[in-house]
Chain A
Amino acid sequence: MIEVDRRLCDVCGTCVAVCSSDAITIRGNKLVIDHELCVNCLACVSVCPVGALGEGK
Chain B
Amino acid sequence: MNEYDMVVIGGGPAGSMAACTAAENGLSVLLVERDPIIGHPVRCAEGVDEKGLCEFFTPDPSWIASEMTGYNLVAPDGTVVAMNVDGQKGYILERIIFDRMIAERAAGSGAMIKTGVEAVSMSEYRNGLRTVQLRNCSKEWSAHARVVIAADGVESRVARWAGLNTTTNPHDMETCAQVTLSGIDIDPNSFSLYFTKLYAPGGYAWVFPKGECTANVGLGISGDKTNGKNPCNYLDDFRARYFPDASVVARTVGGVQCSGGAEKIFADGLMVCGDAAHMANPITGGGIINGLIAGKIAGEIAADALKTQHGAIEGNLKQFPKRCNDRFGKMNRRFYRIKEGIFNIPDYRFNEIAHEMIKLPIEKRTPVRVLRSAVFNNPELLLLLAKVVL
Contact = CB atoms under 8 A, between A and B. Distances in A.
A48 B158 CA distance: 21
Given A22-B160, A28-B137, A49-B175, A17 B232 contact: no
Interface on chain A toward B: helix, strand, loop, or mixed SS? loop
Interface string B144-160: 00000000011111001
Interface string A1-41: 00000000010111011111010011111000000000000
A47 B202 CA distance: 13
Contacts of A13: 153-155, 254-255
A30 B316 CA distance: 37
A36 B173 CA distance: 25
Nearest to B166: A17
A13 B156 CA distance: 9
A46 B155 contact: no
A47 B223 contact: yes
Given A12-B255, A22-B160, A26-B155, A47 B167 contact: no
Interface residues of B, number: 32
Contacts of A14: 154, 173, 175, 223, 253-255
A18 B170 contact: yes
Given A12-B154, A22-B157, A26-B155, A50 B255 contact: no
Nearest to A16: B155
A14 B221 CA distance: 13
B176 A49 contact: yes
B83 interface: no
Nearest to A11: B41
A17 B157 CA distance: 8
Given A17-B255, A18-B223, A50 B157 contact: no
Contact of A18 (B120, B168, B176, B177): B168
A29 B136 CA distance: 11
A19 B118 CA distance: 20
B154 A17 contact: yes
A56 B167 CA distance: 24
Give the interface centre of A13, A19, A49 by most chain B CB atoms within 10 Å: A49
A48 B254 CA distance: 8
B224 interface: yes
A47 B43 CA distance: 15
B231 interface: yes
A14 B176 CA distance: 10
A32 to B, nearest CB: 12
A17 B254 contact: no
A47 B259 CA distance: 14
B170 A43 contact: yes
Contacts of B177: 49-50
A46 B223 contact: yes
Contacts of B232: 49-51
Report which residue of B230, B252, B257 has the largest number of chain A beta carbons within 10 angstroms of its beta carbon: B230
Nearest to B178: A49
B154 A16 contact: yes
Interface string B87-128: 000000000000000000000000000000010100000000
Interface of B: 34, 43, 118, 120, 137, 153-157, 160, 166-170, 173, 175-177, 223-224, 226, 230-233, 252-255, 257
8 contacts: A13-B255, A17-B155, A18-B167, A18-B173, A26-B155, A47-B226, A50-B230, A51-B230
